[in-house]
Amino acid sequence: MSKERVTLSHVAQRAGVSAMTVSRALRSPDKVSPALLRRIEKIVAELGYVPNPAARALASGRTNVIGALIPSVTNNVFSDVLRGIYAATEDGPFEVQLGNTRYSPLTEEKLLAVFLSQKPAGLIVTGIDQSPASRRMLEGASCPIVQIMEIGSGPIDMMIGFSHYDGAAAATRHLIETGSRFPAFVGARMDPRTQRRFAGFRDVCSAAGCFSMSRCVTTPTPSTVTLGTRLFADLVARHPEVDGVFCNNDDLALGILFEAQRRCIAIPEKLTVCGFNDLEMMAAAEPSITSVRTPRFAIGRRAVEMIVARLADPGPDTGRGAAERVDTGFELVARQSTARRPR
């Protein structure tokens, strides 16, 4: 292991060919004679040559970086998406560059400027509520772009996700159908997707004549399980009649489960709890919690695949192919407790 970094020309010299040939051998092996190819590969391995990505990017004006802007690295929802992105990236030439927008459109704007300056191969952005400036930047960008986790009209380029409104509506309908007469909403963070879930809840309740704004507790604070316990405590203090809760997400739902246990409020006999996203733990919960399953891993993976496909076949001369717009849907997972009741 010498201190000298080995470059393309070192390899070329050793192989007795030009740097260009080595470059080709590495990028399009079929354009080089098999014998030479093997010789070059051997030397590359011997010397431990690793291409300098900066030089490559500078010379070619392109990178193998797929930028992914997500609102949170801690939220399980996005770590599943991320896992999908990494899974799809694993065997290809692409690298992922992660950007954490922390639910701030302004942060997203800044990150976008930085990311775009790197000439990424593609870009993944979360949601459909980009700021006007962000939208402008994205529309001016010359790489494939996928908006993920939501579905809506006017995509910037490609789009894959589902309707949060519909998901919430389905959950709320289930709540009412299983007998809830005084349904409540518990939400935190209140980002655009949460807002649309709330709208779904509100509209279904209104149509059923059981909407009450006073039974909706929300806060801009990020959701946590502990926050769920507190919001639920507030709720039952003001509305002991509540017999069903639709939660913005599973963390809050779990908090409500715990708080209900603590207060000996029987689930599902006296209270039905419904979450959103159907995180892994929901399948194990006792008492059971219904949730809306969202294909987060698949969305992440598919987003990368859509970019790769576009790169392979840019399509018509528009500079941007036909904009794919994939509605993944969701799945209401209704659960019943399987506990043996204590004697």
Partner DNA sequence: CTGTTAGCGCTTTCAA
Partner DNA sequence: TTGAAAGCGCTAACAG
Question: Which residue ranges make up the site for DNA (CB under 7 A)?
Answer: 5, 7-9, 17-21, 23-24, 26-27, 30-33, 36, 49, 51-52, 55-56, 58-62
Instruction: By CB under 8 A, name the one of 251, 303, 306, 328 that touches a second copy.
Output: 251
Q: Return the residue matching tokens 């496909």.
A: 309
**String of contacts with a second copy for each residue 169-208, x by CB under 8 A:** ----------------------------------------
Cβ atoms 215, 242 nearer than 8 A: yes
| Interacting residues of 117 by C-beta distance below 8 A, sequence separation 6+ | none
Cβ atoms 285, 261 nearer than 8 A: no
Say whether residue 113 binds a second copy (CB under 8 A). Answer: yes
Give the 3-state secondary structure of residue 196.
helix
21 makes contact, choosing from a second copy, DNA, none, with CB < 5 to 8 Å by partner type, with DNA
Q: 248-285 burial string, b = 16+ CB within 10 Å, else e?
A: bbbbbbbbbbebbeeeebebbeebbbbbbbbbeebeeb
Per CB under 8 A, contacts with a second copy among 77-96 are 79-80, 82-83, 86, 95-96
Instruction: By CB under 8 A, name the one of 122, 161, 167, 287 that touches a second copy.
Output: 287
Instruction: By CB under 8 A, name the one of 28, 117, 153, 214 that touches a second copy.
Output: 117
Minimum CB distance to a second copy, residue 199 (Å): 28
Element (H, E) at 272: strand 272-274
What are the residue ranges of helices labelled H in the chain? 8-15, 19-27, 34-47, 53-60, 76-89, 105-117, 132-140, 164-177, 192-208, 225-238, 250-262, 296-312
Measured from the CB atom, the residue of 213 and 341 that comes closer to a second copy is 341
Measured from the CB atom, the residue of 44 and 151 that comes closer to DNA is 44
Residue 124 phi, psi (nearest 5)? -115, 125
Say whether residue 23 binds a second copy (CB under 8 A). Answer: no
Residues that bind a second copy (CB under 8 A): 1, 3, 48, 50-55, 57-58, 63, 73-74, 76, 79-80, 82-83, 86, 95-98, 100, 113-114, 116-118, 136-137, 140, 142, 224-226, 228-229, 251, 254-255, 258-259, 261-264, 280-281, 283-287, 338-343
